[in-house]
Amino acid sequence: MATASSFKEAPLGDGKIEIGRFTHGYETVNFRNWGQGANVQLGSFCYFSENIQVILDPQSPFDRIAGFPFGKVFQEELGGEDLPIQKDCEWDVSIGNDVRIGDGVTIMSGVTIGNGAVIAANSTVFNDVGAYEIWGGNPATFLQKRFDDELISALEELAWWNLPEELIKEMAPLLSMAPNLELIAGLKSIVADFVTFQDDAA
């Protein structure tokens, strides 16, 4: 039986969805899938607000005479069932770990969102979002980084979301503090001590 602490996987049309540990609110996300085989990957410790949708549809082919999707609709009347379905973009959506998605956000096909990113409410995300970046608007644009590059690099290296559950529970008060390099070094020391203890106990 799937629990909050377990990794989960389920079919999604002709593709699949993978969900990391302790990700909250994914159950109410509307994954709009037209059976094109797109996959969705949600990292661990993400937080999804309400009224979020992920559009898993190929983009309209703007380089052709007709933008109309011949062969996909009205096949009986217009034919085209033998037309090849061209993959005009990458449809898969990948959302990293510790990502927060605000209320009313729409995420378009092909988007990758990095670890620790924040998407403001009512945004429509067309472009990739870097780690620990804040984006907002319609269309969503880069607003600012949550931390400076040195801190972001240290947090990515720490990758606390991959640690054992019991260690994360112990570190939770520290993870809830504003980061600095000294604090992150302390967290790495806690991890190193835990690994040493586990090795000695083996």
Please write the tens of the pLDDT for every residue from 133-191: 999 999 999 999 999 999 999 999 999 999 999 999 999 999 999 999 999 999 999 99
Higher pLDDT, 28 or 197: 28
**Could you name the CATH architecture of 8-146?**
3 Solenoid (2.160)
pLDDT of residue 66: 80
Average of per-residue pLDDT across 127-134: 99
pLDDT of residue 9: 93
Domain regions of the chain by residue span: 8-146, 150-201
pLDDT of residue 88: 45
Q: Which residues of 88-122 are buried (b: 16+ CB within 10 A; e: fewer)?
A: eeebbbbbbbbbbbbebbbbbbbbbbbbbbbbbee
Average of per-residue pLDDT across 88-92: 67
pTM for the full predicted model: 0.88
